[in-house]
Structures are given as structure tokens and as C-alpha cells.
A and B are shown apart, each in its own frame.
Chain A
Amino acid sequence: MCLSIPSKVTKIDKENNIATVDTMGISRDASLDLMEEGDVKIGDYVLLHIGFIMNKIDEEDALASLETYQEILDAMDEEERQKAIQESDNCPNG
């Protein structure tokens, strides 16, 4: 029940305070009643929960996490590579 779905805002109907969002290819309407007026704009990433937009997803922050993941992956790859070299150096048959 507490799961919310990242979505992207594609349209805003100011009169009815409703946004249309894209949830991985599916288009649906969501209420803007829980957001400050004018806060949500077309192109924003939001969390959709039982028919409402509950917040905006901070794009910069999400990108920073993904960059950290890439760095961790690169560091691990490097570690594995060093280990492989070391193992091959120590190999009596090498």
C-alpha cells in the first residue's frame, strides 16, 4: 500500500488541479491537491500514490546516486583487476 511509482508529468490541467503523468508508458491522471500551487511542472519527475502526486523527485539527487553507483562499480572492477593480476603474478605455473 505504501509503494509509490516514479512518473513523469506530461500535462497539467490547472482548472481541475490534475496532472497527466507517464508511468513507464502508461498515461494516467493524478490529483495535484497535495502539492503547492504551481510547484509541479511539465517534465518533472514525481511519485504517484493512489491517484495523487505526493512529491517531486529531486532529479539532481537521483543522478548523484546513480553516479555514486557507477563509481562503486568502477572501484570494484579495478579491485578485481588488481586481484587477478596479483593472483596471476603469484601463480607458480605462471
Chain B
Amino acid sequence: MDKLNLKDLYDGFRQPEVIKSYAKLISQEATKLPKPINIMEVCGGHTHSIMKYGLNQLLPKNVNFIHGPGCPVCVMPKERIDHAYALSLQENVILVTLGDMIKVPGSNGNLQDARAKGADVRFVYSPLDCLKIARDNENKTIIFFAIGFETTTPMTTALINQVIKKDIKNILFHINHITVPEPMRVLLDDKTNTIDAFIGPSHVSVISGSKIYDEFADKYNKPVVVSGFEPLDVMQSVLMILKQFNEERCEVEVEYSRSVSKDGNLVAQKLNDKYFERREHFRWRGIGDIANSALKLKDKYAYLDAEVKYADILPTKLIDDHKLCICGEILKGKANPKDCKVFGTACTPSSPLGSCMVSSEGACAAYYKYGNLL
């Protein structure tokens, strides 16, 4: 093959026969492992690929996947959802967010329920859709409820940049962007963790570069392989991790080198640095407070901050999860959806109790959808 076709970027990385060949190579390599290993795939996108293609069933007994906290909707605490709900019910406000947020339950209900109460909530494909909504509704305030990890952060700051450049007066922001390395550190600092290596996120790494994982190999002694989302990417990454163990190496490697560099997307990073700074704390659903794990608008741009402007009406009460829900343990990689008593019974994608069932990237939703355990 001397020329790439667009189709190859999809089909080429999903060839069933090659997946099977990798399963064989992994099994051969695994026979040399000194002890069984647990590989945490940090990102929910990988959990989805693993379940969709049944990759977990292709691994030998001494190699396990454990699912990580990288699902931005799953880790969004209820009090932040309550913010979105409260903002949407304000007069002359249009709350805009990405589709993933539709069904996430807060303490009063989800954003669909707010719509039923008459709120103007719009789910968009891109943050840039806010520009048209703002133009078409000059007398209303558009609040963009921004969510996501490093992957979606620069899309918000690019919108902020346009709002400032074009002097648009009726768009505000409620920022809930979070970052990946801080929770990884928290999981590893927990002495009862069973993580031996990481599969690093694909598109977080496109933006931030693979350098953000250096500390995990250097200080924590955990190999990291940054992987693409396609099944062959994941299988190749598993093989790379096993080779690191067998060759007594511990480093950050990039399997997804067609898209990820060491330094990442510098234009995106510059935009983020211009508008955002670290929040001192952010409470992660199921995991708890993590220092410096989220972003907020710099003081200089407080006039764009819906959290500042609507501080009076935003609820401050912290809300815990449903007692029967074990999402917290699942997000920490300590439990599997199969361990949950309400999985698939009281908690289903159409009426989720916990956040891991809500988002399509959540581990419970992936287990439910691809149901190879039932």
C-alpha cells in the first residue's frame, strides 16, 4: 500500500484477522509475565472500544483491563448539574451544552426535565453553534455549560476568543473542564490500588501531548502507552505494555503516533492558558475533592463567567450519590459494573441511578450496551 485512503483510517484499524493475530501475540508475550497485570484504560472511549469489540475476552487470564475515571459526564458531581438546571430556569436565558449532558440526573432532575418545565435548553454539536444562537436571540443571555477533559477544553477557549474578538455581549460561560493527570495521581496515591500500567487517552493526548504522563513512568513506576481508539490500537498498546514488563522497561510510549506528539497541540494549549487557570479544588463524582484538577476563567474574564454573574441563585449544597450506586468504586477501578447490585435492574440507560450508566462513555453503559456478561 503506497497511498492512504480515508477508509483505511477506519477499516484498516479494525481488521478482525489482525485483531486475532494480536490476541495470539499477546498470549505468547503474557506467558513470560512474572505476575498477572492490571491495565487501566483511563478514558471511557477506550472502555467503549474494549466492550464493543470484546477485546477483554481476547486477553489471557493474567492480563486484565480495569476501567478508569475518564468519562467527563460520569465524574460531574450533581451540584454542577444543579447549576445547569438552575441557570436554565432563569428568565431570558438559553442554556447551551453538548448532547452528552441531556440525561445526567441532578438532585432536581436532568436538563430534559428542565425543558419540560419550560426552560430553553439546547444541545449542540459544537460550541461554535452558540454564535448563531446568540445572533438569533439578541435579547437573551446564552450560557454555554462547558464540559470535558483536555480534548474539549480548547474548543471552549476558541469560542471565548471569538466572543471577545467579535465583541458579542450575550454569551456567558459555566466552566466545568477537568484534567486527566490529577485523578490518575489520586488513584495511584491510594495504597490499595491494583493498577500496574495505563493505556493513556487518545484525544486528550492529541491536545496535551504525551509528556503529561512522564511522571507516572518516572515517579510512580507505571508504564503508560498512549493508544488510539480503534480496536487494533488497543491490542497493539496492550502488547507494548506487556513487552515493557518483560523487558523490564518502564516508560511512556505512544502507539497512537499518527496523531499524538510529545508536546501536543501548542495553538490549543496557548488558547487555554490565555483564558483559564486552575481551580483550587473540584469535587469529582465518586472520587471526591481533587486539588487543581479543573479549570476556571481567569479573573480578568470574570465578566464572561456565569458562575460569578449568577452566584446568588446557584445552589451550593454538595450532593452525594444514590446509596446503592457503586459508580465511585468503578471510577476508581476498584469495582466492575458486574459487581453492582442495581446494574441492569434498578439502574438502566433509560433510567440511570448512577452517572456511569448515563454517559455513553461510562463503564456501566458500555457493559449494558454490549452486554457480554449477562
Residues of B contacting A33 in the complex (Cβ-Cβ under 8 angstroms): 158, 161-162, 267, 271
Residues of A contacting B8 in the complex (Cβ-Cβ under 8 angstroms): 62, 66
Cross-chain contact B9 with A6 (CB below 8 angstroms): yes
Cross-chain contact A24 with B7 (CB below 8 angstroms): yes
Cross-chain contact B155 with A50 (CB below 8 angstroms): yes
Interface size bucket, B side? Answer: 35 or more
Given contacts A31-B158, A34-B154, contact A55 B259 (CB under 8 A): yes
Cross-chain contact A34 with B149 (CB below 8 angstroms): no
Q: Which of A50, A55, A57 contacts B9 (CB 8 A)?
A: A57
Residues of A contacting B1 in the complex (Cβ-Cβ under 8 angstroms): 63, 66-67, 70
Assembly CA distance A4 to B207 (angstroms) = 12
Pairs A-B, 4 closest by C-beta atoms: A51-B126, A6-B9, A61-B258, A33-B158
Given contacts A51-B155, A63-B4, contact A69 B148 (CB under 8 A): no
- Interface residues in A10-40 by Cβ distance below 8 A to B read 22, 24, 31, 33-36
**B-binding residues in A (CB < 8 A):** 1-4, 6-8, 22, 24, 31, 33-36, 45, 47, 49-52, 54-55, 57-59, 61-63, 65-67, 69-70, 72-73, 75-76
How close is B331's CB to chain A, nearest CB, in angstroms? Answer: 16
Given contacts A34-B267, A72-B22, contact A52 B6 (CB under 8 A): no
Assembly CA distance A7 to B7 (angstroms) = 9
Cross-chain contact A24 with B6 (CB below 8 angstroms): yes
Residues of A contacting B2 in the complex (Cβ-Cβ under 8 angstroms): 63
Assembly CA distance A69 to B15 (angstroms) = 9
Residues of A contacting B257 in the complex (Cβ-Cβ under 8 angstroms): 58, 61
Cross-chain contact B265 with A54 (CB below 8 angstroms): yes
How close is B3's CB to chain A, nearest CB, in angstroms? Answer: 8
Assembly CA distance A22 to B148 (angstroms) = 25
Cross-chain contact A34 with B128 (CB below 8 angstroms): no
Given contacts A2-B151, A62-B12, contact A55 B265 (CB under 8 A): yes
> Which of the segments B79-87, B196-204, B276-284, B307-315 contacts the partner chain?
B196-204
Given contacts A2-B204, A45-B6, A76-B21, contact A51 B258 (CB under 8 A): no
Bits for B64-81, please: 1 = Cβ < 8 Å to A, else 0. 000000101100000000
Residues of A contacting B161 in the complex (Cβ-Cβ under 8 angstroms): 33
Q: Which of B10, B13, B15, B148 contacts A1 (CB 8 A)?
A: B148
